Amino acid sequence: MSQASQMLFGSEEPQRAVPVLVPVPADRPYSYAVPVGMAVEPGSIVQVPLGPRQVAGVVWDGETEVINPAKLREITKLFDCPPLQPAMRRFVDWVAAYTLSPPGLVVRMALRAPAAFDPEPMMEGFRFAGVSPERITPARARALELAASMPHWTRSGLAHAAGISAAVVDGLIKHGSFEPVALPPHPAVPLPDTTYGRAELNAEQISVADSLRAATVNADYGVTLLEGVTGSGKTEVYFEAVAAALDAGRQVLILLPEIALTQAFIDRFHTRFGAPPAEWHSDMPPRMREKIWRQAAEGRVRVVAGARSALFLPFRELGLVIVDEEHDPAYKQEERTFYHARDMAVVRASLEKVPVILASATPSVESRVNASQGRYEHLRLQSRYEEAALPDLSLVDLRRHPPARGRFVSPVLLTAIEQTVARGEQALLFLNRRGYSPLTLCRACGYRFHCQQCSTWLVDHRLRGQLSCHHCGHTEKRPESCPECGTMDHLVACGPGVERIAEEMLERFPNSRTVLLSSDLPGGPKRMRRELEAIADGGADIVIGTQLVAKGHHFPLMTLVGAIDADLGLANGDPRAAERTFQLLHQVTGRAGRSGRASRGLIQTWQPEHPVMQAIASGDEERFYERELAERERAGMPPFGRLSAIIVSAATRREAEDYGRALRAAAPDDGGIDVLGPAEAPLAVLRGRHRFRLLCQGSRQESMQVFLRRLFAAAPRPRGSVQVQIDVDPQSF
Ligand code: ADP
Ligand code: ZN
C-alpha cells in the first residue's frame, strides 16, 4: 500500500482511497474507496457513482484527501481495458492548466467512447478438427473442403460461402468434425504496408524525406515545419516519415482540419500503403468510435487520421504526429474547452517524446516565427511536382472593371471563364460565403431580416427556401411579403453568396456544366465526395464553392481560379485578418494548374493596393510575412505578445456588463498584462444571450495563466444567468 493510501473503517478492513478524475466540470479528482481485492493503479479506467449516476473515470496520480471517510463511496467497477498512460495523463493536466479548463472536461475528451472500456465480446467460431464424418453428402463435402482452406469460420460465414444451410454446419459440429474457437469480434485490421505504393521521389523531395525519416527514427521530441507550395508533394514526402514510424513499430496520428477532406485523404493513404488508416471524428457512429478508441489503446490500429479530437486518443505506442494544413483555423475549438489542436499536438508530442511534423503551403505566422527562431526545424519544397507551374496571378480592380448591375463577376473574369471552358478546361469561382445572399431587405419600408436570437442578419438560402442564422442555426421559411409593412414582392437580396454566383453562371453560360459546392447542400459528405471525384474526372466546366474547395483537392483540368470577393475577410478588424486572407487566397489559387497546363488566378478586389493583394499578385510571400511580423511585433500581438479573451454572457445586457466590470476590477494590476474592456463582443447577442468581452494582453514573459488564475480568485463568483468562457490565444474576434 502506498503512502497516499488511507486506512479507513478500522483495522480489520483496510481500505484504500484514490483520486478519480470524472468527466464533469470538476477542477480536481474526487476521492473514491477501492473495494478490497480490486487492483487499481494510476490510469486505470473505472466506474464510479456520481450523484445518482454511474460514470467512467480515470484513477489519477497523487494523493487523495479524504475529508469525511463515512461519505466515501466505492469504485463500482474496474474496466478490463488498458490504463491511460502517464504521458496521456500529463497531457490532460497540461491542457487543463493551459486553457484554464476543468481537468474533468479535458478527460472527457479522452473518454469519448464509453462502451470501449469493456472488452469486446468474443464471437463463437470454429475450425476444422481434422476428422471427417462417416457419412459424406455433397453439401458436407463442400463445407469440409472450404473449412480446411481457412484457419477459422463463423457458422453463418461458412454456410454462406459454401451455399449450404447452417443446419449442415451444425451437423458437422455435432459430429466433431469442427471444433469451437473464440474469435475476436472484429476481423484483424489490415495493416499498412510501408513499401506498397511508394512513390518515386524527385531530388528535392528525397532530401526533405531523408530529414523527416531521420527525425522519425531518432524517436525523440522535435518539431519540423514542412513548408511547400501547393502541389509540391508534401503529403507524398511526409508519408515517408509515416513509413519510418511504422517500420519502427510505432503508431502514427495524422490530424486533418476538416471532415470533408478526410475521405480523399483516406483514399490517398490507401493507395500509398495498401490499407486505409483508421478514421476518427466526432460525427462517427458511437460503435465505430468505440472500436477505434480501444484498438488505439491496444496498439492494434497503427495509423489514425482524424479531426482535432483525435488528439485525445489513448495511443499505446505513439511514434509520430502530423498536423496537415497546420495554419487552418478549423484546428481551433471554440466551445467548452477552447484549444488549438496544432499547439496541443506539439504539446502531446513533447510529452510523448516523439517528433511532430507541421505541414502547410502557407504556414501560420506563429510557426514561421518558431522556425526562424530555431525552435522548429524548417524544411521546404520549393517547386511543384513534375512540370506543373504555379498559376499566373493578377488582380482585377473592381473600381475599374465593375460587374454589371446586380451581378458580381467582372467582365474580365467572364471572358477568362469563357476562354477556359472553350478549351475544355475548368474554372473555379471562389466565394467564402454560403447561401444566396447575406442580407434580405424590404425595398418598401427598409426592414432587414435579422435573427431574433442573435445580433446578425439572416442569410438567404434560396435552394432550401429558407432564411437562416449562421450563428445559432435558426431557420425560417423564406417569406414572400415583408413582416413589417406587409408589402409583397419587394424583398431584395443584398450581396452575393455562392448560390447567387452559381445562378449568374447558369444565366451567362447556360450550356456549361456548373457545379456548386458548399458544406450546407443536401447529400452530406457522400455527395460531396462524389462531386469532388466528378470534378477531378472532368465532369464539370465551372465550379463554384466556399473555402471547402480551397483545400487540398487535386483537379487536373482546373486552369482558372477566380476569387469573387477577395476583400471579404479583411474588413472585420481581426488581428489575423490579413494572414487568413493571404492563406485562403493562396490556397484557392493553388487549385489551378496542378497538372502542367498553363493556368491563371484572377482576384477581384476593391483594394488592389492592400498589402495582402500585393503579396498575392507578386507571389512575394516573404515580404508579406515580414511585414505582418513587423506589424504584430509593433502591436504586441501574438506570437510576440500573449492574448486571451474572457467572454461574459448573460440573459440581460446589464448582467453581462456588470460582471465584466467586476472581473476587470479583480484583475491584478502589478504586472505586465493589460485588460481592455469590458466591451460588447463582436457578436453582441448569441442565442439570446448578451455578450461582453475582456481582452488581456501582455508580453511573452508574463504567464497568462497565472494572471487569469489570480483574476478569477479575486473576482466574485458568477451569479444568476452569468456564464464565463476563457479563450487563451484567441484566433479571431
Ligand atoms: P501538396 O500536399 O504539397 O499539395 P501533394 O502531395 O498532394 O502535394 O502532391 C501533388 C500531386 O503530385 C499529387 O497528385 C501527388 O500524387 C503528385 N506527386 C507528388 N510527388 C510525387 C511523386 N514523387 N511521384 C508521383 N506523384 C507525385
Ligand atoms: Zn441566430
Q: Whose CA is nearest to atom 25 of ligand 1?
A: 199
What per-residue confidence (pLDDT) applies to 185? 61
Whether domain 392-436+496-630 has CATH 3.40.50.1820: no
The three grid cell numbers given for residue 23, joined into one nine-digit string: 468527466
The protein residues having their C-beta less than 5 angstroms from ligand 2 (an ion) are 451, 453-454, 469, 471-472, 474
What CATH number does the domain located at 17-111 have? 3.40.1440.60
Asked whether the beta carbons of 435 and 461 are under 8 A apart, the reply is: yes
Domain boundaries, the chain: 17-111, 123-183, 203-381, 392-436+496-630, 439-494, 641-728
Matching fold, domains 203-381 and 392-436+496-630: yes
Per DSSP, 191 falls in state P
Atom of ligand 1 nearest to the CA of 228: 3
Helix (H) or strand (E) holding 660, with range, is helix 653-666
> Is the Cβ atom of 233 under 6 angstroms away from ligand 1?
yes
The fold of the 203-381 domain, in CATH, is Rossmann fold (3.40.50)
Q: Compute, in angstroms, the gap from residue 554 CA to the centroid of ligand 1.
A: 9
**Phi and psi at residue 410, to the nearest 5°:** -75, 160
- Contacts for 172 with CB less than 8 Å, ≥ 6 apart: 133, 140, 143, 144, 147, 178
Asked whether the beta carbons of 380 and 372 are under 8 A apart, the reply is: no
> Is the Cβ atom of 234 under 6 angstroms away from ligand 1?
yes
> Is the Cβ atom of 201 under 6 angstroms away from ligand 1?
yes
Q: Whose CA is nearest to atom 17 of ligand 1?
A: 233
What per-residue confidence (pLDDT) applies to 120? 66
Our mutation pick for probing the ligand 1 site, out of 385, 533, 557, 583, counting the most ligand atoms within 8 A of Cβ, is 385
Ligand nearest to the CA of 683: 2
Residues of the chain with pLDDT below 70 are 1-14, 113-116, 119-123, 183-189, 552, 733
What per-residue confidence (pLDDT) applies to 4? 42
What per-residue confidence (pLDDT) applies to 152? 77
What per-residue confidence (pLDDT) applies to 273? 96
> Is the Cβ atom of 235 under 6 angstroms away from ligand 1?
yes
What CATH number does the domain located at 641-728 have? 3.30.70.600
> Is the Cβ atom of 251 under 6 angstroms away from ligand 1?
no
What are the CA-CA distances from residue 327 to residues 15, 324, 332 (Å)?
A: 51, 9, 10
Q: Compute, in angstroms, the gap from residue 205 CA to the centroid of ligand 1.
A: 10
What per-residue confidence (pLDDT) applies to 1? 40
Q: Whose CA is nearest to atom 10 of ligand 1?
A: 231
What per-residue confidence (pLDDT) applies to 524? 74
C-alpha closest to that of 262 among 241, 285, 280: 280
Atom of ligand 1 nearest to the CA of 388: 12
> Is the Cβ atom of 536 under 6 angstroms away from ligand 1?
no
Q: Is the dihedral of CA 213, 214, 218, 221 positive or negative?
A: negative
Ligand nearest to the CA of 450: 2
Ligand nearest to the CA of 268: 1
Q: Compute, in angstroms, the gap from residue 723 CA to the centroid of ligand 1.
A: 48
- Give the integer Cα–Cα distance in Å for 170 and 325: 55
Q: From the annotation, which residues make up the binding site?
A: 442, 445, 451, 454, 469, 472, 482, 485
